[in-house]
């Protein structure tokens, strides 16, 4: 195993721990909202959201802690690579790791926003049902721009989690061109 794979496994574990902590903190929010406004809908959504966050937590722990060796192999390539003599061979691996991390963060942001807005909607419905009268004003929780931004963020997140191959190739090529230009200026 070379340094690139060791570095990748450490970074993948750190990513897994970071997102596990974020998800654990979010698992408690729906339960608190359901406790504030107890109704059948809010309790059901809180349980569903907690189960969904629990499933996400299990998948993240499985992929980034238990299966990090296979994930590192998919990101970097074969383990039997010779130790790189220069920083150039580290560029694609570093860019892919950054893309995977950014993609996971995009997916996390979309997931959090969807669950938060669902909980806000059901909390409003529970308040209206408890008040006993028809509420004339309904909050504008979702609009088309918000849904469109979530879909764009979801697509970008999926592309980045896949390693963003086109972007990584382009960025490595541009970085190497800049390094060559810098070397010419220095000489």
pLDDT by residue for the chain (187 residues), tens only, comes to 467 777 778 888 888 888 888 888 777 777 777 777 677 777 787 788 888 888 988 998 898 888 888 888 877 766 555 554 555 667 777 788 888 888 888 988 888 888 778 777 777 776 666 666 555 555 556 678 888 988 999 999 999 888 888 888 888 888 888 878 878 887 7
Using an 8 Å Cβ cutoff, are 82 and 2 in contact?
yes
pTM over 0.85: no
Is-contact 103 162, C-beta < 8 A? yes
CB 72, CB 5: distance < 8 Å: yes
The domain containing residue 122 runs over which residues? 3-186
Count how many domains the chain has: 1
Q: Give the containing element (helix H, strand E) for 170.
A: helix 165-186
């Amino acid at each position: 195993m070379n340094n690139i794979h060791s570095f990748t496994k450490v970074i993948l574990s750190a990513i897994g721990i970071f997102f596990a902590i974020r998800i654990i903190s979010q698992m408690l929010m729906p339960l608190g909202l359901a406790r504030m406004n107890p109704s059948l809908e809010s309790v059901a959504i809180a349980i569903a959201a907690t189960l969904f966050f629990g499933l996400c937590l299990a998948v993240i722990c499985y992929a980034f802690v238990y299966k990090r060796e296979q994930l590192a192999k998919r990101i970097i390539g074969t383990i039997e690579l010779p130790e790189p003599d220069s920083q150039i061979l580290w560029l694609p691996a570093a860019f892919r790791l950054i893309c995977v991390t950014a993609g996971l963060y995009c997916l996390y942001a979309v997931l959090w926003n969807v669950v938060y807005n669902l909980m806000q909607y059901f909390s409003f419905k529970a308040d209206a049902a408890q008040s006993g009268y028809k509420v004339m004003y309904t909050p504008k929780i979702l609009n088309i721009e918000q849904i469109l931004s979530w879909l764009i963020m979801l697509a970008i997140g999926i592309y980045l989690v896949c390693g963003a191959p086109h972007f990584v190739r382009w960025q490595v090529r541009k970085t190497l061109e800049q390094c060559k230009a810098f070397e010419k200026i220095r000489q």
